[in-house]
Amino acid sequence: MTTIETRDRPRRTTWQGYLLVAPAVAVIVLLVVVPTVIVARESFAIPDPLGGTLGGFTLDNYATLLDPVYLKTIGYSLGMAAANAVVCLVVGYVVATWIAAARPERQPLLLLLVIIPFWTDFLVRTFAWINILGSGGIVVTALRAVGIQAESFVPSQGAVVLSLLYAFLPVAVFPIYASLRSIDPSLPEAATDLGCSWWQTQRRVILPLAAPGIAAAVMLTFVPTLGVFVIPVLLGGGLDPLVGNLIVTLFTEFRNQALGSAMAMVVLVLMLASVAIAGIAMRIAASRRSSS
């Protein structure tokens, strides 16, 4: 009897685990898997000139995306996402290093100051930058006060870059900060005692150990930047649209659901590829750290 009860316990535990996970799995299937399958199916459908699709199967939608106009938008989006990831990485590393070096009792407050902007709606934060960089904003007013004739910085590509940095900087700071906090303080101290300069300590000790957090920061900033469409419209005037703006235009203005779905699938593939590359980089860094 004891043996049977012992054998039955793991089964009951397993079924209880399945029941606990079932709601989360159902939500993921309904809100992620099913819409993705529908969009994937629509991307191969024949477009209806009046809107919607006519069903069937065709590769013309993906062939249309090879047009230089669409390739230029995809390339510009990849470049903007990469640039934003690099800027957020550099600034985020500096901020995370400063917070990690602060007194332990001050670090929660500093982290709170970093995350406070996330408590405000994304659209509200974007409109705030219009007021800051606009013709009557703080920046232009300050420049005019010192004798510099400045006009509105909106719309401009610089305003887009600055707003992207402001929007995604917190998600770059936290993983880097977590990696820095996990480093044994005796390691950089030992490197300094052995004669390493600040840069040598960073390059040979800190950066390799913080590589998982750095890779996560790059992934968390690069991937969502590909799908941003509010910032380029409000702060860039729609002059240099990203793929997110193009998808919205294809669905709403051109009423080309099939082509918009194909573009959405291309963006999804690019995002998955970037996540896979980041995962490979994190594994390589972890293997090097364990071997050393």
Would you give per-residue pLDDT tens digits along the chain (292 residues)? Answer: 444 444 555 555 577 778 888 889 999 999 999 999 999 999 999 888 877 778 888 899 999 999 998 999 999 999 999 999 999 999 999 999 999 988 988 999 999 998 888 888 888 888 888 888 888 778 888 888 887 777 777 788 888 888 888 889 999 999 999 988 888 888 888 888 888 888 888 888 888 888 888 888 988 899 888 888 888 888 887 777 889 888 988 888 888 899 999 999 999 998 888 888 878 877 776 676 666 5
Residue 83 domain-assigned? yes
Name the DSSP letter for residue 253: T
In the chain, % helix, strand, coil (3-state, to 5) comes to 75, 0, 20
Q: And the tokens for 60?
A: 């013309």
> What pLDDT was estimated at residue 271?
86
Residue 67 domain-assigned? yes
> What pLDDT was estimated at residue 1?
47
Domain hosting 269: range is 51-290
Give the bridge partners for 53, in sequence order. Answer: 47
Residue 26 domain-assigned? no
Number of domains into which the chain is organized: 1
> What pLDDT was estimated at residue 29?
92
Residue 57 domain-assigned? yes
Q: And the tokens for 50?
A: 């009046």
Residue 8 domain-assigned? no
Residue 61 near residue 261 (C-beta atoms within 8 A)? yes
> What pLDDT was estimated at residue 55?
80
Give the bridge partners for 47, in sequence order. Answer: 53
Residue 137 near residue 131 (C-beta atoms within 8 A)? yes
Q: Show the CA angle centred on residue 161, arms to residues 160 and 162, nearest 5°.
A: 95
Residue 5 domain-assigned? no
Q: And the tokens for 257?
A: 């659901």
Provide the 10 A C-beta neighbour count for residue 248: 15
Helix 157-181 crosses helix 211-226 at what angle (to 10 degrees)?
A: 150
Per residue in 244-277, pLDDT tens?
888 988 888 888 899 999 999 999 998 888 888 8
> What pLDDT was estimated at residue 262?
93
CATH code for the domain in which residue 201 is found: 1.10.3720.10
Please state, in angstroms and rounded to a whole number, the distance separating the CA atoms of residues 144 and 111: 35
